[in-house]
Amino acid sequence: MLLEIARVLNEAQLAKVNEILAGSEFVDGKLSAGMAARQVKLNEELKKEPKQMELLLRILVSSLAHNKIFNSAALPYRMADPIFARYRAGMHYGDHVDDAIMGKSGPRFRSDISMTLFLRDPESYQGGELVIRTSFGARKVKLAAGDAVIYPSSSLHHVAEVTAGERMVALLWVQSHVRDPARRELLYELNQAREQLLQQAPEDETTKLVDRSFSNLVRMWSDV
């Protein structure tokens, strides 16, 4: 499932993140790429200074922890430290799939879900669309600052060349406690029905049945 999530960061969080990034050093993105990705990757990434990373991480992780749509769609178990990527004019990232195993510095984990969080006004740069191949064709994604897209990490994707201005994004990988994307999608939809029922008719027998089935499906499919 490819899902856009609006306002992962609010105005104040976005301003703070961009302020930290404006005063930071960026390095060649090839340094963090796997062997295949290195051939097609042309961007820059934030040099990981512990102090800045801690601040950025705090903002991002706390906003995601409170985001209902993200939690319901991703069913997160572990998350990697985010990468902040900058694309200046002429930069792009060719077709690739993200690394399967993440977490070089900390505990290792499997990437099930990739997230791109857009940090700049889409009018301020040209090109730079994230293009994700899905079974329904290619989807081009370029979102408002503060909005994010999540998609299965197994999807082939690329970043179109930036032709003017500067694209800045945060990238994050999640290991879900439900590995199979089809099961996650089913749980996401069932949970929406469940929440609506819990609001409209909390005492209804149907609500209790759906609620119980949802919990037991999560238990059945969770590989925590």
Residues within the interface to Ni ion (CB under 5 A): 98
- Closest distance of CB 159 from Ni ion, Å: 8
- State the CB neighbour count (10 A cutoff) for residue 191: 20
Output 93 or 125, the one with its CB closest to Ni ion: 93
- Closest distance of CB 86 from Ni ion, Å: 15
Phi first, then psi, for residue 121 (nearest 5°) are: -55, 125
Buried b (16+ CB within 10 A) or exposed e, 192-211: eebeebeeeeeeeeebeebb
Output 34 or 76, the one with its CB closest to Ni ion: 34
Q: How many CA atoms lie within 13 A of 97 on its CB side?
A: 13
- Closest distance of CB 96 from Ni ion, Å: 6
Output 170 or 187, the one with its CB closest to Ni ion: 170
Written as one letter, the residue type at 149 is V
- Closest distance of CB 79 from Ni ion, Å: 16
Q: Which residue of the chain is nearest Ni ion when measured via CB? A: 98
Output 33 or 187, the one with its CB closest to Ni ion: 33
Output 9 or 37, the one with its CB closest to Ni ion: 37
- Closest distance of CB 66 from Ni ion, Å: 26
- What's the rounded Cα separation, in Å, for the pair 96 and 156? 5
Task: Judge contact between 142 and 129, C-beta under 8 A.
Answer: yes
- What's the rounded Cα separation, in Å, for the pair 52 and 58? 10
